[in-house]
């Protein structure tokens, strides 16, 4: 009887205030040892925007692609991964210089995790006094961690001058960060550092290089569609129309 009354009270409280407790960190299985994690941030209008990162579980530890946007989630993410997989994060790669990708670099570097960005990202981060990685990627690079390998790819300017993508050739998983737009949106998003003309060219390079990806992970919103590269191209071309 007491449990029933407690549940009834919780429902009543929820109906009064019209909302559930907000979950700051979401982890969703993608494929085998691949997972998408989502945190939230704001661009100043108070509305929270989901930001997708990804991680890969290997025999040698966990590779984290991009850091949480929410600065309160740096350690909770590590704790969640340890509780789930009993493995530590051993490396972090940020895909461009914006804070929804790099905010946690200094924190992870300070606790001994290897952090990586491209040399171009580092130059931009240094100039803007933003968090910087310990190690620099000087060119498109193949990384090997445990039983997995993956490669970074710089297609040219787009969402930002320095955006890179990460490709897992065996699994055909393309992690695009903010270079790729979700099918949930019709907006090109934050254009403060974007080059629309070059972005269109860069998208075409990616489509030509990485054939038939089975999963495409954009930087924000839904990531279940294989059409997000084509969708991004349509968004950019529509934006260009007078």
CA distance 226 to 216: 6
Packing angle between helix 228-240 and helix 196-209, nearest 10 degrees?
A: 160
Residues contacting residue 178 through CB under 8 Å, at least 6 positions apart: 95, 96, 98, 100, 101, 159, 160, 163, 189, 190, 218, 219, 220
E strands present in 59-209: 61-65, 89-93, 114-118, 135-137, 142-145, 148-153, 165-168, 173-177
Q: Tokens in use for 46? A: 């108070």
Catalytic residue list: 96, 98, 100, 159, 190
Closest by CA position to 33, among listed 85, 93, 82: 85
DSSP-derived 3-state class of residue 219: coil
């Amino acid at each position: 009887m007491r449990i029933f009354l407690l549940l009834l009270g919780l429902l009543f409280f929820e109906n009064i205030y019209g909302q559930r407790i907000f979950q700051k960190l979401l982890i969703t299985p993608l494929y085998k040892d691949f997972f998408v994690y989502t945190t939230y941030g704001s661009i100043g209008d108070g509305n929270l925007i989901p930001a997708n990162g990804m991680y890969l579980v290997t025999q040698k530890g966990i590779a984290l692609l991009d850091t949480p946007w929410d600065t309160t989630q740096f350690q909770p993410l590590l704790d969640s991964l340890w509780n789930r997989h009993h493995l530590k994060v051993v490396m972090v790669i940020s895909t461009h210089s914006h804070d929804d990708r790099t905010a946690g670099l200094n924190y992870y570097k300070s606790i001994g995790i290897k952090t990586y960005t491209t040399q171009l990202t580092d130059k931009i981060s240094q100039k803007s006094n933003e968090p910087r990685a310990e190690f620099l990627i000087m060119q498109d690079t193949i990384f090997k961690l445990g039983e997995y390998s993956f490669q970074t790819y710089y297609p040219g300017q787009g969402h930002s001058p320095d955006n890179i993508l990460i490709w897992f050739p065996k699994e055909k998983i393309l992690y695009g960060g903010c270079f790729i737009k979700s099918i949930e949106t019709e907006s090109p998003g934050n254009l403060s550092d974007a080059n629309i003309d070059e972005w269109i060219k860069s998208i075409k390079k990616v489509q030509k290089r990485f054939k038939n990806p089975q999963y495409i992970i954009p930087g924000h919103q839904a990531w279940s569609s294989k059409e997000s590269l084509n969708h991004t191209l349509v968004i950019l071309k529509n934006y260009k129309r007078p």
